[in-house]
Amino acid sequence: MALSRYKLIAHLLTLALLLGLAVWEHLMRHYDLILPPTLMAIALLISVPLQYLGRLRPAIADHILLVGGLILCALEAPGSHNPMLWLGLSITLGYLLLSPLPALLLTMLLVPLWLLLLGDAHMTAVNLMFGWWFSLAAAALTLLPGGTRALRFTLRPWRDDTQPIGEFISRSLDMEVARASALNRPLSVLVLYIPQLDQAGDQFGGHMREILSASFSEVISDNSRQSDLLGEHHANVFWLILPNAGEAGAVAAAKRLSDAVTSVAHPEIGSLESFSRVCTLRAQESTERFSQRLETAANKLLEPHA
């Protein structure tokens, strides 16, 4: 599945709101305002299954949704009793659907254009400064350490930390191996390599890598079980510990996650792709030996033609 369940829920809620707005405009006899939300609802209704099937990049769908949302706000605001609320909604929409820097540039330009659209009564220095202040405050919130993660759904402690240190995941592996051996339960580890993270760090700096790493971790969390544990063992190589999963289950998880990771995209980098290997704990195998096999799998992935 190339669309996380939380994003799917957000899209379905947006679809319901658009349909509700269209029905409201019809009931209020504002027939000239029915078409925009209806067209947006149709576009969203088409894009959701295409994203689910992996036939449409989520970034493209987000941009279409952003353009449609801004047009809808522009049409609704002039006749509203509180047009400045639509300005705040358009700024919020920009930060939800774009990365911080493009969102900041767009919203700073959008504020004066929006006030110009609303007319001379709203084109005041106070409104202009308020709009810019709101945009800068939203940018500061997203750029604070952990700020983007604070806006996301979290289900487990490891999901709050997009780059768990290698010691953490190694300790978790020790405990899971001991538990699996004591209870005679299967244990598999999915070794994941994301080459674009290295490219992002080299070309665009650490902040870009943080954004992509956070998005990657979020996608993994959305498409994993509650008991699974993710950690970055070393640069760009992650371990996903799968308790109670044999080799067949781990291979199926690898395929599912490989499809899901492609939903993480950035204009400068493109869609992420993952290379993975499955390692399953053998009978009577020690943690040290299992860790060595995981290291070997990681080295294989890092080879140029892996």
Per-residue pLDDT of 175-214, as tens digits, reads: 899 989 888 899 999 998 888 877 776 666 667 777 778 8
Q: Which of 150, 176, 211 is the last residue of a domain?
A: 150
In this structure, the number of other CB atoms found within 10 A of the CB of residue 87 comes to: 25
162 and 298 share one domain: yes
Domain finish residue from 135, 150, 165: 150
Locate tokens 């806006």: which residue?
A: 151
Cα–Cα distance for residue pair 125/113, rounded to 1 Å: 13
Query: Hey, how many other C-beta atoms are within 10 angstroms of the C-beta on 231?
Result: 22
> Are residues 254 and 291 part of one domain?
yes
Q: Select from 102, 134, 150 the last residue of a domain.
A: 150
C-alpha to C-alpha distances, 67 to 43, 57, 266, nearest whole angstrom = 12, 16, 17
Domain assignment of residue 185, given as a range: 157-302
Considering the domain architecture, whether residues 19 and 146 belong to the same structural domain is answered as yes
CA pair distance 222, 217, nearest whole angstrom: 9
> Cα angle at 292 between 235 and 182, to 5 degrees?
115
| Cα–Cα distance, 35 to 41 (Å, whole number) | 10
Burial of 64 (0-12, 13-18, 19+ CB in 10 A): middle
Q: Please indicate, yes or no, whether residues 118 and 24 belong to a single structural domain of this protein.
A: yes
Strand partners, 229: 241
Residues 182 and 252 in one domain: yes
Same domain, 146 and 220: no
Whether residue 161 is found in the same domain as residue 146:
no
278 and 146 in a single domain? The answer is no
pLDDT given at position 305:
46
Report strand pairing: 237-243 vs 270-271: unpaired
Q: What pTM was estimated for this model as a whole?
A: 0.48
The percent of residues above 90 in pLDDT, for the chain, comes to: 8
Domain count within the chain: 2
Assess whether pLDDT exceeds 50 at residue 163.
no
Q: Are residues 171 and 189 in the same domain?
A: yes
Residue ranges with strand state E in 124-249: 187-193, 229-234, 237-243
For 63-115, write each residue's pLDDT tens digit: 777 887 888 788 777 777 788 888 888 888 888 777 778 888 988 998 888 88
Give the SS3 label for residue 127: helix
Q: How confident is the model at residue 158 (pLDDT cuts 50, 70, 90)?
A: very low
Question: 36 and 142 share a domain?
Answer: yes
167 with 145, same domain: the answer is: no
Do 194 and 289 have their domain in common? yes
